[in-house]
Amino acid sequence: MKNQTTEVAIVGGGMVGGALALGLAQQGFHVTVIEQHAPPAFDPTAQPDVRISAISAASVALLNRLGVWDSVLAMRCHPWQRLETWEWENAHVMFEARELGLASLGYMVENNVLQRALWEAMERHPQITLSVPAALNTLHAHNDSHELTFDNGDTLTATLVIGADGANSRVRQCAGIGVHAWQYQQSCMLITVECENAPGESTWQHFTPNGPHAFLPLFGYWASLVWYDAPARIRQLQSLNMVQLQQEIAKHFPARLGRVMPVAAGAFPLTRRHALQYVRPGLALVGDAAHTIHPLAGQGVNLGYRDVECLLDVLSRARQRGEAWASLPVLRRYQTRRMADNYIMQSGMDLFHAGFSNTLGPVRVLRNIGLMAADRAGVLKRQALRYALGL
């Protein structure tokens, strides 16, 4: 890649960066994707990846338009038709695909499956150059372009640089864009389990005084459990072997889970981040590089795909009109449309998290009354579901 030029340089070729690269290439842009590691080849005999994403119906539609969804289906994923939430047994709220006339609300997809499908599509596209392994070192603006230098000494000149390189974005740091951030007093543990019975097509979340417990159905007899708790408690769970962890799951998850056998687990702290700007002249941030959200409702990657759709629309329209498509006035259209939506979703999840973290009796009564009311809200309930799904 020594001293190369490109129209668009995307730093980060994961689930969001890969989708954006394909979309731009299909619009006629020349794209270079910079990634430190190619995703591993798919192994149909391997147990599920610990990292799971709940891909909404709108995100599935985007992936279909990009021509990669059939590849995901050919590997593996699992549809979900119902979402159930409760704290008290008599205060459930249920969202169902049939309420919106959909076959499913979305799919549970292993991150490495989706990354592999996108990567193979990028490898085939003539408008995309994959630069791997490569790690961004410095980024400098020069007139109407940016010069990127990499740890191996190579350089790349790009009209537009897009940071799709995750929560600790190097692009964001090099551009000097600050973030508004705080740490939640909670951590999250993902546990891959093998179920005694087929997991079905319902995902559920049970709120407890220490944090929610969630169930995500996967293919075959596999499922993923999500355990939110205080950081010290999650560290203690991480120290257990699988037999001991199975005993803790049996004690603390609802009886409806049935007998499960954990086979792998991973944990991470929960942090909210929101970039103070999404754009600079010739530069834009997407996905986790621009915003991270409490994973309570599984909206992280779906918000990233909303970013992708918006930026594709803004750039393609500007190019068709003969505008300077990497200019700040054009890129601000993307920022204006996406920053407000992301902030609303972040704040909604924060409000939900705060409301269910409070253990005061009157607050518990009020929130469970709220859940019962939400389940009977009719049109408002359907509108909330449509918004969450990006429809």
Residue 126 is classified by DSSP as T
Residue 232 located in a structural domain = yes
Average pLDDT over residues 38-49: 93
Instruction: Specify the pLDDT at position 211.
Output: 84
Average pLDDT over residues 378-386: 51
Average pLDDT over residues 336-351: 80
Instruction: Specify the pLDDT at position 27.
Output: 96
- For residue 1, what pLDDT band results from cuts at 50, 70 and 90? low
Of the candidates 255, 32, 345, which has an alpha carbon nearest to the alpha carbon of residue 159?
32
Q: Are strands 31-34 and 106-110 parallel, antiparallel or unpaired?
A: unpaired
- Reply yes or no on whether the pLDDT at 92 is more than 80: no
What CATH number did the domain enclosing 229 receive?
A: 3.30.9.10
Residue 8 located in a structural domain = no
Residue 213 located in a structural domain = yes
- Reply yes or no on whether the pLDDT at 221 is more than 90: yes
- Reply yes or no on whether the pLDDT at 352 is more than 80: no
- Cα 140 to the center of its chain, rounded Å: 29
What 3 state SS string does 17-35 have?
A: HHHHHHHHHHCCCCEEEEC
- Reply yes or no on whether the pLDDT at 372 is more than 70: no
Residue 110 located in a structural domain = no
Classify burial at 94, counting beta carbons within 10 Å of its beta carbon; exposed 0-12, middle 13-18, buried 19 or more. middle
Residue 366 located in a structural domain = no
Query: CA-to-CA distance for 79 and 77, rounded, in angstroms?
Result: 7
Average pLDDT over residues 324-351: 88
Query: CA-to-CA distance for 331 and 314, rounded, in angstroms?
Result: 7
Domain count across the chain: 1
Average pLDDT over residues 74-87: 88
Residue with tokens 């864009």: 177
Query: What are 269-328's pLDDT values in tens digits?
Result: 888 889 999 999 999 999 999 998 876 655 778 999 999 999 999 999 999 999 999 999
What 3 state SS string does 237-253 have?
A: HHCCCHHHHHHHHHHHC
Residue 156 located in a structural domain = no
pTM: 0.88
- Reply yes or no on whether the pLDDT at 353 is more than 70: no
Query: What are 228-256's pLDDT values in tens digits?
Result: 999 999 999 999 999 999 999 999 999 98
- Reply yes or no on whether the pLDDT at 57 is more than 90: no
Q: What is the mean pLDDT of the chain?
A: 87
Average pLDDT over residues 345-364: 55
Structural domain of 213: 185-271
Query: What are 130-170's pLDDT values in tens digits?
Result: 999 999 999 999 888 999 999 988 999 999 999 999 999 99
- For residue 101, what pLDDT band results from cuts at 50, 70 and 90? confident
Residue 351 located in a structural domain = no
- Reply yes or no on whether the pLDDT at 375 is more than 90: no
- For residue 88, what pLDDT band results from cuts at 50, 70 and 90? low
- Reply yes or no on whether the pLDDT at 365 is more than 90: no
